[in-house]
Amino acid sequence: MATAAKILADKPAHVPSDRVVEFDYINDAGIIADPHARMREIAETTPALFWTPHYGGHWVARSRAVLAEVTTSPDRFSSKSRGIPAMDHDVNLIPLTMDPPEHSHYRIPINPLVSPKGVAPLESSIREMANDLIDAVIAKGHCDFLHEVAEPLPVILFMKLAGMPTDRLAEFRQLAEQATAAPEASARSEAFVRIGHILAPIVQSRMTEPQDDLISKLYAAGVNGRKMTFEELLNYSVLLFLGGLETVVNALAFSTRYLAMHPAIQQELREDPAKIAMAVEELLRLHGIAFTVRRTAADTQLDGVVLKADDMILIMAPAANYDETFYPDAASFCPARKQPHVTFNMGAHRCMGANLARLEMRVFFEQWLARIPPFRLDPQSPPVFFGGLNLAIRSLGITWA
């Protein structure tokens, strides 16, 4: 598995020696031991912008200020790239790998579907799904939170929303994981192709027989005054699939793990559920999930360093959330913080599903904390973590027996 990852690039002449940190974002031992403890360590011990020789050599933007500059300067830092490690062709996901103004044309039709107003009607079905999942585990006094709760909730909701069949949940998640976490570029390419094959017939049918779902509405809205082609709509759907199947699953699971380790916070939220919405923001800050990628468009200065055209940058929002200059006492749970977190990233590509994610997390924790007694980590079944473009948990045993 890891053979490709172990080939280290030589340091290019333009990279200062004091900016080199050997960091493998997919197989890093610290991430696999405890992802967010590692994010905090990186925030405290590495340069704001550093270069790693892994995966052909790339920059890592880990500070909040560098993240903001990179993500809000699309003319200098393009979203069009071959990924890290490089595939043999450009990664092409609408609108993730587009730059403004093209990006805006494709962002406009999704906006009404993912706005606070657009997602509000889902609240009752989210609450119902949360209650069903709680019903299934509450009596036994323990569960694998990842497989029994965190995974089904957002994934089934998202699949219903997008008009996808829900009977292939396990297969879909495995593909989403492969697309974001496989160290081999070829395995990731293959996952994209297989996701496309699964979605193609759904997309085809929504173009001719629209349903009350996201893909149908996206098609109806059109882009820049015209309808999307089949290829465009399929491509956009692949992005929705990747966005919806991995991120909330992990945000829910990491947040629940944190609450399991902090009984006083659990208790405070049980006693005053009105505090849950703000607590979710702080849980999201402490548990950022996604890394994103940019390519330097032309030679440019960043954080006092010269970057060369086509240099690749990995943006580590989950580490920027531990940047002490923006989040004093960053490891502490402080829901009253003034600075917004960057778990949804910044810039034109700021997460389009943020309102849906927030709604799911608030409603889920309202139900979970109202019904499940004080819970803690199950020492018999320690969590398993992995890295890649999403920080992720593979299992999370908790108990309230």
Partner 1 sequence: MTKITFVGTDGTRFAVDAEDGLSLMQAALHHDVPGIVAECGGCAACGTCQVHIDAAWINRVPPAEPLEASVLAESENDHTNLRLSCQIMIDATLEGMVVEVAAAQR
Binding site for partner 1 (CB under 8 A): 68, 71-72, 100, 104, 107-108, 111-112, 115-118, 340, 344, 346-350, 354-355
Amino acid residing at 262: H
Compute the least distance from the CB of residue 108 to partner 1, in Å. Answer: 4
Query: Whole-number minimum distance, CB 3 to partner 1, in Å?
Result: 39
- Calculate the CA dihedral of residues 133, 138, 143, 144 and round it to 10 degrees: 20
Q: Determine how many CB atoms are found less than 10 A away from the CB of residue 100.
A: 15
Q: Closest approach of Cβ 183 to partner 1, in Å?
A: 31
Candidates 84, 97, 11; CA nearest to 305 is 11
Which single residue is written with the structure tokens 């323990």?
A: 142
Kindly write down the DSSP assignment for every residue of 271-296, as one continuous string.
Answer: H-GGGHHHHHHHHHHHT--BEEEEEE
Q: C-alpha 237: how far from its chain's center?
A: 16
Smallest distance, partner 1 to C-beta of residue 328, A: 16
Q: How far is the CB of 351 from partner 1 (least distance, A)?
A: 9
Nearest approach in angstroms of CB 55 to partner 1 is 27
- The CA distances from residue 81 to 84, 255, 274, 307, in Å, are 9, 32, 43, 16
* 8 Å CB contact between 51 and 11: yes
In terms of CB distance, is 80 or 173 closer to partner 1?
80
Q: Which is nearer to partner 1, 225 or 379 (CB)?
A: 225
Minimum distance between the CB of residue 347 and partner 1, rounded to whole angstroms?
A: 5
Q: Based on CB atoms, which residue is closest to partner 1, 159 or 351?
A: 351
* Cross-strand bridge partners of residue 142: 399
Contact 76, 298 (CB under 8 A): yes
Instruction: Give CA separation, 285 vs 104, 297, 332, 361, 394, in Å.
Output: 27, 30, 11, 13, 21
